[in-house]
Amino acid sequence: MTDKPNILFVQADQLTAFVLSMYGKDAQAKTPNLDALAANGVVMENAYSNSPICCPARASQFTGRLPSTHEVWGNGAEFRAELPTVAHFLRSSGYECVVSGKCHFIGPDQLHGFDRRLTTDMYPSGFDWTIPWSLGPIHREGTSVKKLAVSGLCKTNNQLLYDAEVQFRSLEYFQTRVLEQKDQPWFLHISYTQPHEAYQSVPEFWERYDDVDIALPRIPKDAQPHPTTEWLHIHHGIDQAPPNEETIIASRRAYYAMISHLDDYLGELIAELKHLDLYDDTVIVFTSDHGDMLGERGMWFKRSFYEGSMQVPMIWHNPKRIKPGRRSECVSLADLCPTFAELGGAKEMSDKYGSDQSASFLGLLMDSSDSTKDEAIAEYYGPGVIEPWLAIRQGDYKYVWTRNAPELLFNMVDDQDEQTDLSNDSAYADIKARLKQRLLGRYDVEAVTQRAVSEKETRAFLHDALSTNDGYHWDYQPFFDATQQYVRGVNKPATA
Q: What angle do CA 476, 479, 485 make, to 5 degrees?
A: 155
Q: What is the three-class DSSP state of 427?
A: helix
Q: Among residues 403, 468, 465, 469, which one has the least CA distance to residue 130?
A: 465
Question: For residues 247, 248, 254 and 257, what is the CA-based torsion angle, rounded to 10 degrees?
Answer: -150
Rounded to whole angstroms, the Cα distance separating 141 from 143 reads 5
| 198 phi/psi in degrees, rounded to 5 | -75, 140
Residue 53 carries which side chain, given as an amino acid letter? Answer: I
Distance CA 437, CA 421 (A): 18
Nearest residue to 259 via CA among 210, 314, 309, 192: 192
Residues belonging to the active site: 54, 104
Q: Which of 220, 187, 25 is nearest to 93 (CA)?
A: 187
Q: Assess contact for 209 and 257: CB atoms under 8 A.
A: yes
Angle at 219 between CA 214 and CA 222, to 5 degrees: 140
Q: Which residues contact 496 (CB under 8 A, 6 or more apart)?
A: 178, 179, 181
- Integer distance in angstroms from the first to the last C-alpha of the chain? 20
Cβ neighbours of residue 82 closer than 8 Å, sequence gap 6 or more: none
Residues 6 or more apart whose CB falls under 8 angstroms from that of 204 comprise: none
